[in-house]
């Protein structure tokens, strides 16, 4: 592995940590502010705590699985899955927006979408690079 590959791996792990923290933060903020969860806010505190705990555990588990399968043990299957699923997810999001299933574009939501899209493009590019690096590591 050359210096550029090491730099890519360090950038990937840093972005994984940032993304995991962002997912936890987004889940928490969304839980308390999104209109979808209005019914849950009237639920018992135990149920509300259960729902937010599942979101946080899901974000942590996803981050750990990505770390384990793509960084610690350099594999390609999960990265390949992420490479193929990302465009499908974005296509589904656009379709949901066109069907009116997503919130209106407020300035705050627009800012979130712009930041999220920029992060996803960077993340997607790093997935492609990591997959190439991991293929080389597996071959040697």
CB 65 within 8 A of CB 75: no
Q: Give the closest residue to 65 by CA, choosing from 54, 88, 49, 81.
A: 81
Position with higher pLDDT, 133 vs 105: 133
CB 76 within 8 A of CB 66: no
CA distance 109 to 8: 30
Q: What pLDDT does 33 receive? A: 67
CA 94 to chain centre: 17
Mean pLDDT, residues 95-110 = 81
Mean pLDDT computed over every residue of the chain = 86
Mean pLDDT, residues 11-34 = 85
Mean pLDDT, residues 21-42 = 70
User: How many distinct helices (H) and strands (E) make up the chain?
Assistant: 5, 0
Confidence of residue 128 (pLDDT cuts 50, 70, 90): very high
- pLDDT of 35 above 60: no
Question: Which token pair is 117?
Answer: 């899209």
Of the listed ranges 11-25, 62-76, 81-95, 104-118, the one predicted with least confidence: 104-118
């Amino acid at each position: 592995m050359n210096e550029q590959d090491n730099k890519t791996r360090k950038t990937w792990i840093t972005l994984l940590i940032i993304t995991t923290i962002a997912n936890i933060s987004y889940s928490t903020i969304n839980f308390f502010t999104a209109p979808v969860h209005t019914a849950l806010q009237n639920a018992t505190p135990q149920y509300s705590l259960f729902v937010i705990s599942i979101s946080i555990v899901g974000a942590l588990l996803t981050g750990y699985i990505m770390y384990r399968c793509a960084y610690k043990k350099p594999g390609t299957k999960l990265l390949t899955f992420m490479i193929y699923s990302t465009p499908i997810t974005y296509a589904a999001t656009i379709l949901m927006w066109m069907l009116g299933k997503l919130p209106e574009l407020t300035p705050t939501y627009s800012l979130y979408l712009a930041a999220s899209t920029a992060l996803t493009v960077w993340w997607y590019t790093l997935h492609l690079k990591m997959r190439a690096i991991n293929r080389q590591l597996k071959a040697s």
